[in-house]
Chain A
Amino acid sequence: MIRKILFISCFMIFKNMVTGQTYNTTAIIFNFNFNQSPFQLKKEYITDAGESIQVYKMKFYISGLTGVTVRGDTLALSKEHFLIDVADSSSQLIKVQAPQLQYLFFTIGVDSLKNTSGIQNGVLDPSRGMFWTWNSGYIMAKLEGVSSQANTAGNRFTHDVGGFRSPFNSTRKIRLLIPQNKINNTSVYIEVNLAKWFSGKYPILLKEQPICHTPSLLAMQLADNFVTSFTTSEN
């Protein structure tokens, strides 16, 4: 491990000296809310349709982080996949090297090549619980918990959104305008309103649809809803 760190740091310094290219570190920070109240796992919230919910798990993948600079240049910020987990605050901060950005693009989900080329490592390791073993493919985003309206064992609802093949490709592109009111913008705050999961575009009632475990129309609707959860904020 120490050898690797030494190697990488040495390599990075060398690369920077040769190419002379250095950008500021930009922090991309995800914050979660439920219709503007701060979001916490296991706390009770009321959806827009009036159903009560407590969330136990909320995770999603993002990939293809791309920025558009204030000068209009498109810049790939990272080739990595990231697993954003409400339960793990360290996963909610992504650091990239970038000049001042005007737009941030990313994909919610895992690109199709990673869905079809065997076992991956790191955050894409199937042991992370975001992989369907019986119908190969990643769960792009999952929201699981309990709701007194869910007519299931233990009132549990599990919305696992996945599927990468047409007509049920559940990956979604996100395009966010970054507020430019500050000089030397080194942080991008992304607000994720989880209430929209159930109501952003299609009203989804837990009374009727507590379970999503397959690439399906329901998964597509939940994915469309989740897209509307994302906004940027200025603080």
Chain B
Amino acid sequence: MPNKKIHILFLLLVICTAWITTDRFAFKPKPVKFEIPKGWPQPVYDFTKNPLTQEGILLGKTIFYDPQISKDGTISCGSCHQQFGAFNTYDHTLSHGLENMLTTRNAPALFNLAWQKEFMWDGGINHLDLQFLAPLTAHNEMGETIDQVITKMKASPQYKKMFKAAFGDEIISTERIGKALSQFLLTLVSSNSKYDKVKRGEANFNLPESLGYEIFKQKCINCHTEPLFTDFSYRDIGIPEDTYLKDKGRMKITGLSTDSLKFRVPSLRNVAISFPYGHDGRFYSLMNVFEHYRRNMVVTKNTDPVLQNKLPLSNYEIGQLKAFLGTLTDSVFLQDNRFAPPGINDGKPPIDNHQ
């Protein structure tokens, strides 16, 4: 009786399905809603593939601040991405790796990553989940292998518990590490600067700030587009090649000579506290950047069309622009305990000022 056999097998299938899914029913991480600030575009990150949960975010933050993931246990993500510098390396030109090694670039500030499609100064990394693999495996950053990191985590009862809480079981994989880190990084939203409060009608610019905003809209907004203050394009802004670093920027990724010396337009949010500036940190202060644009640019045929005549700026304009750029500092973000290293409850910046 083949019919009877089918029925028995079907029953067995139902029982098996129930059995295999019991763990799933017990697994209920607490979902976290991702808030899109009013007037901002839709994020590009696909949250349906990696829904935010309290457990996932906590795991991501733990990994972010764990130096054990580096080869010699000295460097964490947080070593080069410090909260008080909007997650850049505060006051350092090139970021530092293990054994006193320097990298070839300035660690970029980290925020509003849900709206960013490509990462690194040259845009070489095409998905946020993948980003950590580059600094993790680079010999002059963390110098570690993925297999080793997983081995170290598997040996830790705490990690096992956290992976189970975030993903339903104790399996530790490359994918889960990447997704947990992304969950934490996605929560780094900076949208509470004075500029944002003015836009929401909660505050007013003073005179230099509002004059600066008008100048900004004439001279800078083309590339540093609101509300993210970058259009995420790659441009040659006339920064001559460093003869030691020989960094060709975007060309390294695309292989196209037209992309030589092009780098991603950085966001200007938190710009006043995320010095030094430029892909190799060569600009010590905002004043150096303004001097570059109005006098020191090396214009070539690859230089961006809008900057072929450099960017004329008067001393008066620079003064007002600085006042406006100061309104992009988000002190709520810089001191938010949710993002602070474990054990540190006060994200106050060091007393230093390079403006």
Residues of A whose CB lies within 8 Å of any CB of B are 3-4, 6-7, 10-11, 13-14, 17-18, 115-121, 125-127, 131, 133-137, 168, 214-216
Within the complex, what minimum Cβ distance (angstroms) separates A135 from chain B?
A: 4
> When the two chains form their complex, are residues A136 and B146 in contact, meaning their CB atoms are under 8 A apart?
no
Q: How far apart sit A137 and B137, CA to CA, in the bound complex (Å)? A: 15
Residues of B whose CB lies within 8 Å of any CB of A are 2, 5-6, 9-10, 12-13, 16-17, 19-20, 49-50, 120, 124-130, 133-134, 136-138, 145-147, 150, 173-175, 178-179, 252-253, 255
> Known: A17-B2, A17-B5, A127-B174. Contact between A133 and B130, CB under 8 A?
yes
Residues of B within 8 A of A4 (CB): 20
Q: How far apart sit A6 and B49, CA to CA, in the bound complex (Å)? A: 28
Q: Which residue of B lies closest to A6 (CB)?
A: B16
> When the two chains form their complex, are residues A17 and B6 in contact, meaning their CB atoms are under 8 A apart?
yes
- Identify the 3 closest CB pairs spanning chains A and B, nearest first: A127-B146, A133-B133, A118-B129
Q: How far apart sit A17 and B9, CA to CA, in the bound complex (Å)? A: 10
8 contacts between A and B (CB under 8 A): A3-B20, A6-B16, A7-B19, A11-B13, A126-B146, A127-B174, A133-B130, A136-B125
Residues of B within 8 A of A3 (CB): 16, 19-20
Residues of A within 8 A of B252 (CB): 135, 214
> Known: A7-B20, A125-B173, A126-B133. Contact between A134 and B2, CB under 8 A?
no
Residues of B within 8 A of A10 (CB): 9, 12-13, 16
Q: How far apart sit A3 and B138, CA to CA, in the bound complex (Å)? A: 40
Residues of A within 8 A of B173 (CB): 121, 125
Number of A-B residue pairs, CB cutoff 8 Å, is 92
Contact of B133 among A18, A131, A214 (CB under 8 A): A131
Within the complex, what minimum Cβ distance (angstroms) separates B261 from chain A?
A: 17
Within the complex, what minimum Cβ distance (angstroms) separates B256 from chain A?
A: 9
> Known: A118-B130, A121-B173, A125-B175. Contact between A13 and B9, CB under 8 A?
yes
Within the complex, what minimum Cβ distance (angstroms) separates B12 from chain A?
A: 5
Residues of B within 8 A of A119 (CB): 127, 129-130, 174-175, 178-179
Within the complex, what minimum Cβ distance (angstroms) separates B168 from chain A?
A: 14
Within the complex, what minimum Cβ distance (angstroms) separates B167 from chain A?
A: 12
> When the two chains form their complex, are residues B5 and A118 in contact, meaning their CB atoms are under 8 A apart?
no
Contact of A168 among B16, B120, B136, B255 (CB under 8 A): B255
Within the complex, what minimum Cβ distance (angstroms) separates A192 from chain B?
A: 27
Q: Which residue of A lies closest to B134 (CB)?
A: A133
> When the two chains form their complex, are residues A126 and B130 in contact, meaning their CB atoms are under 8 A apart?
yes
> Known: A14-B9, A119-B175. Contact between A216 and B255, CB under 8 A?
yes
Residues of A within 8 A of B12 (CB): 10
> When the two chains form their complex, are residues B16 and A133 in contact, meaning their CB atoms are under 8 A apart?
no
Residues of A within 8 A of B253 (CB): 135
Q: How far apart sit A10 and B127, CA to CA, in the bound complex (Å)? A: 38
Contact of B127 among A118, A127, A168, A216 (CB under 8 A): A118
Contact of B16 among A7, A131, A136, A215 (CB under 8 A): A7
Q: Which residue of A lies closest to B5 (CB)?
A: A17
Q: How far apart sit A46 and B2, CA to CA, in the bound complex (Å)? A: 62
Contact of B124 among A11, A127, A135, A216 (CB under 8 A): A135
